[in-house]
Amino acid sequence: MNGDAAVNYYERIQKSIDYMEDNLEYDIKVEEIAKEAYMSVSSFHRIFFAITGYRVKEYLINRRIGKSSEELKMNQTKVIDIAMKYAYDSVDAFSRIFKKVTGHTPSSCAKGMYQYKFERMNVMENYFEMDEQGMLEQYPDIKVLKNLPQMRVAYYCFYGKDPESGAFSEMKKWVQANGVDYRNENYRIFGYNAPDTDASAEEYGYEVCVTIPEDMEVTDEKIKTKTLHGGLYAVVSIEPKEDLGEEIMLGWKRFSKWLEGSKYVYGEAQWLEEHLGFGDDFEHLGGVDLYMPIAVKPKLEEIEMIEEEIEPFTVATYTATGRGAEEKARKYMFKWLMEQGIDLADENVRIFAFYNFEQINKPGYFYKLYIKIAEDMDITDSKIEKEVFQGGMYLKNHVKYKVNGPSWFNFIQSIEQSKIYSFGLQPFMEEYLITKTIIDSETEIIQHMPVTKEISM
């Protein structure tokens, strides 16, 4: 592929539309159009339909008939001349297509009795927000998709050390067993880290899903169905490369940098990786489009900040380090809780976490878990420490675990913009509102941001 291949798939489809527009008067083949989009014919059919809602030949015919109708009415051009101009072999062939599309004959259009309109499609204008010029120049590869539609999907989640391979392997069995034509334009294939797992752990979950029709029944007990809710997304394309995983990771990091200077914040929908281009045996051959959910950055006065003063209290703590520290800390601490007969449903029991998030997946990463305990409780486990959490002034924000990371990012930005608060020196705290030893995507969390109040002069 040449340098133009760095654009996303929406831009490629626009290039194909532009090519068709320039060649409406010629007998062009789908293979030629797909080449303009830097796609295989099968991928092009699928992506074109997904983005435009039309099959390629259907769109081409509609544009030709739309132009023909306009010229017949405005210029009083003869039907035979129009037929020849738009690459039809005969007047009869042209008239049949014209009536099939419009329900009217070309002659009725020529007499001014009817005009069929089918405007040239502008994918970028229809689907994307226009960013500020400075951001466009700095991040030309990142586009803002106005509305990704919601999609019903069949999905499978695999947990393990190589969950992507495991999830794709299981979906392959289902796809082949059910005769799903995954290279047809009606299907799209997405993947993402399971919302209830930590990708920094040694073992985590990865879900692969295939879009399916609303009326399609899925009977396989391993394959589940759900709806992926759409909305506002930032999109970037990752081209097929030898180390695709590394490129995907860099793409996600690029999103974070872009977000810092944009007018958006993280959204609460599902992060998505759309896998493009598959072979006969469901092997992934193409690139990946990354979709990051976003929302328009709220004005500072629209952000609800709930202030609280936390009094000191006694805690039992356990700290784990390195990759998978969250999983290790929770597993050990939850086991200790049960051994001590501590009931998480007791309103006096609180569970918090503190960690150096900027070091996630790095050797220096730590994750410290706190359990509020009675001041006179004795701790005999040498790995569990007893200390006093000093408390202080905090602002709190109530969210679900599935949007925990993005919410912290947005929370930090709001403090940076504030004229009332600045960051305090005490640790931030992430409180899990649980009654059982389970933390998943739907777990309710209170984010406690340490602050001090600015003194007005």
pLDDT digits (tens, 9 = 90+) for 436-445: 998 887 899 9
As a whole number, mean pLDDT of residues 70-95 equals: 81
CA–CA distance, 22 with 409 (Å, rounded to integer): 46
User: Can you give the pLDDT at residue 133?
Assistant: 60
User: Can you give the pLDDT at residue 5?
Assistant: 36
In contact, 197 and 204? CB cutoff 8 Å = yes
The domains spanning 143-298 and 306-453 adopt the same CATH topology: yes
Q: Assign domain 143-298 to its CATH architecture.
A: Alpha-Beta Barrel (3.20)
Q: Assign domain 306-453 to its CATH architecture.
A: Alpha-Beta Barrel (3.20)
User: Can you give the pLDDT at residue 268?
Assistant: 79
- Integer angstrom CA distances of residue 220 from 156, 170, 171, 173, 217: 11, 11, 11, 11, 9
As a whole number, mean pLDDT of residues 430-434 equals: 95
As a whole number, mean pLDDT of residues 173-183 equals: 85
pLDDT digits (tens, 9 = 90+) for 375-428: 999 999 999 999 999 999 999 998 888 778 878 887 888 888 788 899 999 999
User: Can you give the pLDDT at residue 253?
Assistant: 86
Which of 189, 193, 118, 200 lies closest to 158 in space, CA to CA? 193
CA–CA distance, 186 with 177 (Å, rounded to integer): 18
pLDDT of residue 316 exceeding 60: yes
As a whole number, mean pLDDT of residues 80-93 equals: 85
User: Can you give the pLDDT at residue 406?
Assistant: 76
| Domain locations along the chain | 3-110, 143-298, 306-453
pLDDT of residue 1 exceeding 60: no
**What share of the chain in percent tops pLDDT 70?**
90
pLDDT of residue 290 exceeding 80: yes
User: Can you give the pLDDT at residue 207?
Assistant: 94
pLDDT band at 117, cuts 50/70/90? Answer: confident
As a whole number, mean pLDDT of residues 349-378 equals: 89
Q: Assign domain 3-110 to its CATH architecture.
A: Orthogonal Bundle (1.10)
